[in-house]
Structure 1
Amino acid sequence: MTDRQKDVLDTVLRLLVEEGDALTMTAVARRASCSKETLYKWFGDRDGLLTATVQWQASKVRVATVDREGLDLASLSASLEGFARDWLRVISSDTSIALNRVAVGHAGSGKDDLGRIVLENGRFALARRLKPLLEAGREKGLLDFADAETAFRTFFGLVGRDVQVRLLLGDRLDLTEAEIGGDAVRATQQFLALYGAKTGPRGL
């Protein structure tokens, strides 16, 4: 995406915080100082705009490029901690809370398919990006698990705990960078305690 398109998606996120379910293409065009025709050309309909917005939000959770040959316990831990920090920052942001509240409110309502959009381009997309790292760790003998999806769900749960649910329900958690960093380290250590290979890396 161009920087201009990213600016528009940031506008969508801000409007979701302010207006929630009332978000319209007209409001986005007005706030972003562009025409509705441009929005339709770039993103298609409202669902397309929301899909791009979710993808933009999820892209802020990064996964380090996997060096399968050089992967060791230290680099694996650092990558998992980085993923955890990014995800906690995203889910605790006002924009993410607003987006997920709208998605939950629409689930099963028939209004649009925002729930599916958030799942497919949020949680499921994050799983597709992190699983190669987990599988690389298994190949190197650093991790021991039978199913990558189960291992991912365990790590996801250890990172998020009850934080996202509490935020969606209005609990005013003010996560500092120090708290986010500590939670990321703790979740990684707990995950490695559960899934770390007991015999050490292969070849040792």
Structure 2
Amino acid sequence: MLQASADIDTSEALTERQKAVLDAALRLLVEEGDNLTMTAVARRASCSKETLYKWFGDRDGLLTATVQWQASKVRVAPVDGKGLGLASLTASLERFASDWLNVISSDTSIALNRVAVGHAGSGKDNLGAVVLENGRFALARRLKPVLEAGRQAGLLDFSDAETAFRSFFGLVARDVQIRLLLGDRLELTEATIGGDAARATQQFLALFGAKTGPQGL
């Protein structure tokens, strides 16, 4: 799950040094959860707090950038709407599903989401809103153009892109994320994730694939 800002390709916008700092922040979230501080991140990343404030603003800004960095690992393969075929659409959806499953099953995402859930409604900070805006909502904004391209190419048939996205998201996620958050040790190997991504994509295409001809041929 994961993601202050409008959608950007975080992996392109950040320097290598900034990425290393955000990786350090993610490791601290795994180890310390709610106790993440600018001082601790500066110490772990071997940089000054002044640098952190310059780059990210404050703790909320750092958390936002951390979520964005984690969410950027879910790639959305670009598609050519004019020449889009079923194979390339399927490949793009499978890659998205596979990346997302890899991200949400990582120790860093599990720790980040546990902290966000614990803060939701507590008034401590807006981490829950940050995770929603830069995680699930940002991923929807990135994948919907692919779904729209599929519809324009006559490969998909849906009336609302948000509904289609939610259906795909649900097919990919199933109960995996909630089980991970509750401590279930799922065996999510590369092969398992690849199979789950392919299955979810085929189920989505069965639900939303455009039908032609009187018998759908």
Task: Normalising by structure 1, report the TM-score.
Answer: 0.97
Tell me whether 1:31 sits opposite 2:44 in the alignment.
yes
Q: How many Å apart are 1:69 and its aligned residue?
A: 1.3
Q: Match for residue 6 of structure 1?
A: 19
Aligned residues: 201
**Aligned equivalent of 1:196:** 209
129, 154, 157: which one pairs with 2:167? 154
Q: Distance in 2 between matches of 1:33 and 1:77?
A: 43
Moved over 3 A (4+): none
| 1:110-125 to 2 correspondences below 5 Å | 110-125=123-138
Deviation per residue, 1:5-54 (Å, 9 max, x gap): 00000001100000000111000000000000000000000000000000
Tell me the equivalent position of 2:3: none
1:22 equivalenced with 2:40 (yes/no) = no
Structure 1: give runs of 5+ residues left out of the alignment: none
Distance 1:155 1:168 in 2: 21
One-letter amino acid of the counterpart of residue 69, structure 2: W
Equivalences for residues 71-90 of structure 1 within 5 A: 71-90=84-103
Look up the equivalent residue of 2:166 and give its one-letter code.
Answer: R
Q: Distance in 1 between matches of 2:37 and 2:93?
A: 37
Q: Distance in 2 between matches of 1:52 and 1:166?
A: 26
Native 8 Å contact 2:79 2:88 kept in 1: no
Partners of 1:9 and 1:39 lie apart in 2 by: 10
Cα RMSD (Å): 1.0
Question: Residues 24 and 41 of structure 2 are in contact (CA less than 8 Å); yes or no, is this contact kept in structure 1?
Answer: yes
Q: Is 1:43–2:56 an aligned residue pair?
A: yes
Alignment gaps of 5+ in structure 2: 1-13
Q: CA deviation at 1:174?
A: 2.3
Deviations 1:161-184 (A, max 9, x none): 000000000101120000000000
Q: Which residue of 1 aligns with 2:122?
A: 109
User: 2:37, 2:184 → 1: CA distance?
Assistant: 28
- Give 2:192's aligned residue: 179
Structure 2 residue identity aligned to 1:18:
E
1:167 aligns to what SS in structure 2?
Answer: helix
